[in-house]
Amino acid sequence: MLKINGQKPLSGTLNLSGSKNAALPLIALGCMFERSVIDNVPRIADVFSLLSIIESLGAKVEFQDHTVIIERNTFSLHNLDVANIKKIRVGLLLIPALYQTLGSLTLPTPGWCALGARHINDHIHGFQDLWLEVELDNDASHVSVSGEFFVGERSLSAWFWVTPTENILMMSALRPGVTHIRFAAIEPHVINLVEALQSVGFDIEVLFDHTIKIVGNPDLFSSHLQATVQNDPIEAGTYMIIAALMSEEYIDIRWVQTSHLGMFLNTFRSTGARYDMIDDTTMRVYRSRELAPVKFQTNIFPGFPTDLQSPFSILLTQAQGDSRIHEVMFESRLGWLAELESLKWKATVLNPHQAIIHGPTQLVWGNVASWDLRAGVAMIIAGLIARGTTHVTNIRYIDRGYEDIIGKLQAIGADIERIDED
């Protein structure tokens, strides 16, 4: 549980960590090489879970500071860490490495946050389009992959989903020949994966029409992989929101890459919030005493990222009027709004995808629970601006994706601490 005493002015500098969304597929890719070294890996729960799975397969894994080193032996499923592979959906990203070494495999299907229907069908259809044999058992608790690749040029679709795009890309790298992945996700962390493959010699083009063209070459996996995880744009957006709401004057955020923030920056500025780049990678975000309402919708990159919808909604509670949210990506991601009723906020949920936030609202203390990773961080932000003491429960979600967020906030003056849950 977190205990937050709100309305404490904040000042100082926040350093970004490596991106969760980039680190996990890069680690999975590392399992396809004899040896891989991946730098700037965040020390978060999802990374530790994935590394535990990889160790259970028989690989040697070291996690030193923020560097992961993987030395692959022949994989085996006999001692598979079933608990973790069911817990995190990115376990699916190990399928290409397992197919590469085993030729056929059966894995438990993973779990995930309650964001909506995050089916594995797009993974299945992508692999099938490469002519692999993929089956779900009757209760969809296990997925099996076997068979041999189609020889020749192939074209398939990923329907803009990030993890299927990453999975199909890695599997296509194993298949000799040209693969066109149409309707591909091109989020920054997908490009991070593309660049890692290019660094060892893969011929890959990312086209403006959301097509990724890759020439597969299994021989290239005999080399070693050296890759670096990009800094986290979602963490950057989160800290920008906190700075706009609670900084004494301003907060500096280091290692920001503005090109990764897409439409978020435009929407942030539309509220009247202000920032300057004081050097190439350092953003100074100023306290905003008066915010304007906005309308926004989440979308695929470079649109407004769904992972920042929840934190941004807290910013809008302080806007001078009604703001509208259209959550396009997930049908259950607005469910967290009900949790804030105990903080006396005002919102109208129109349907599973749309809501109105009525501002400005003085949030007051209360007890709230984290619904998922991003909603959990939104609860932290709400606690920072609320009057009195707020308790946030179910914080295991937050630990999955933000490295040492409590320590970072304490360092800039936040009155926040972990306490034991009764």
Q: pLDDT digits over 326-338, tens only?
A: 999 877 778 888 8
DSSP string, 125-161: HHHHHTT-EEEE-TTSSEEEEES-PPPS-EEEE-TT-
Exposed / middle / buried, residue 273 (Cβ in 10 Å: 0-12, 13-18, 19+)? buried
Q: In this predicted structure, what is the pLDDT of residue 121?
A: 87
Q: What is the percent of the chain where pLDDT is above 90?
A: 82
The torsion angles phi and psi of 287, rounded to 5 degrees, stand at -65, 135
State the Cα–Cα distance between residues 276 and 242, nearest whole angstrom: 16
CATH 3.65.10.10-classified regions of the chain: 2-17+232-418, 20-228
Summarize the confidence of residues 64-90 as an average pLDDT.
93
Assigned architecture for domain 20-228 = Alpha-beta prism (3.65)
CATH topology of domain 2-17+232-418: UDP-n-acetylglucosamine1-carboxyvinyl-transferase; Chain (3.65.10)
- The tokens of 281 are what? 């990678």
For residue 115, what pLDDT is reported? Answer: 44
pLDDT band at 116 (very low <50, low <70, confident <90, very high): very low
Helix (H, G, I), strand (E, B) or coil at 18: strand
Beta pairing, strands 142-146 & 133-136:
antiparallel
Query: Is 66 a residue whose pLDDT tops 90?
Result: yes
Distance (Å, rounded) from C-alpha 248 to C-alpha 287? 7
Write down the pLDDT at residue 54: 98
pLDDT for the residue 117: 44
**Has 113 been annotated as catalytic?**
yes
Distances from the Cα of 163 to the Cα of 26, 35, 351, 411, angstroms: 12, 23, 27, 34
Residue 141 CB burial class (10 angstroms; 0-12, 13-18, ≥19): exposed
Res. 20 pLDDT band, cuts 50 70 90: very high
Please tell me whether residue 265 adopts helix, strand or coil conformation: helix
Out of 90, 113, 171, 227, the active site residue is 113
Q: What pLDDT is recorded for position 119?
A: 66
The average confidence (pLDDT) of the chain is 93
What is the DSSP secondary-structure string of 292-351?
---EEEB-STTSB-GGGHHHHHHHHTTBSSEEEEE--S-TTTTGGGGGGGGGT--EEEEE
d(CA 240, CA 273): 9
